[in-house]
């Protein structure tokens, strides 16, 4: 069975960049403003990953 770790690693690696370049605000899913599309995608993906694990 595929574990959650590789998925979250991929998620964070693939969508690493905040559109606003915010690297001051730390979230469970990484750094970012939390409001731009890139951050929301990550937050959403992380929430789904958490809910599924
Ligand atoms: Zn952002």
What is residue 26's predicted lDDT score, i.e. its pLDDT?
Answer: 92
What is residue 25's predicted lDDT score, i.e. its pLDDT?
Answer: 93
Distance 31 CA to ligand 1 centre (A): 8
Residues, the chain: 53
Q: How far apart are CA 12 and CA 29, in angstroms?
A: 7
Residue 8 lies in a domain: no
| Residue of higher predicted confidence among 40 and 13 | 40
What is residue 34's predicted lDDT score, i.e. its pLDDT?
Answer: 93
Distance 22 CA to ligand 1 centre (A): 6
Residue 43 lies in a domain: yes
Task: Reply yes or no on whether the pLDDT at 42 is more than 80.
Answer: yes
Work out the number of other CB atoms within 10 angstroms of the CB of residue 11: 20
What is residue 3's predicted lDDT score, i.e. its pLDDT?
Answer: 57
Threshold 0.85, pTM exceeds: no
Residue 25 lies in a domain: yes
Domain of 33? 13-52
- Which letter does DSSP use for residue 31 in this model? E
Distance 10 CA to ligand 1 centre (A): 18
Residue 26 lies in a domain: yes
Distance 36 CA to ligand 1 centre (A): 4
Residue 7 lies in a domain: no
Q: How many domains does the chain have?
A: 1
């Amino acid at each position: 069975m595929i574990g959650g770790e590789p998925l979250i690693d991929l998620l964070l690696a693939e969508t690493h960049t905040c559109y606003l370049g915010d690297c001051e605000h730390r979230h469970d899913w990484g750094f970012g403003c939390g409001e731009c599309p890139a951050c929301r995608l990550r937050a959403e993906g992380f929430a789904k990953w958490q809910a599924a694990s």
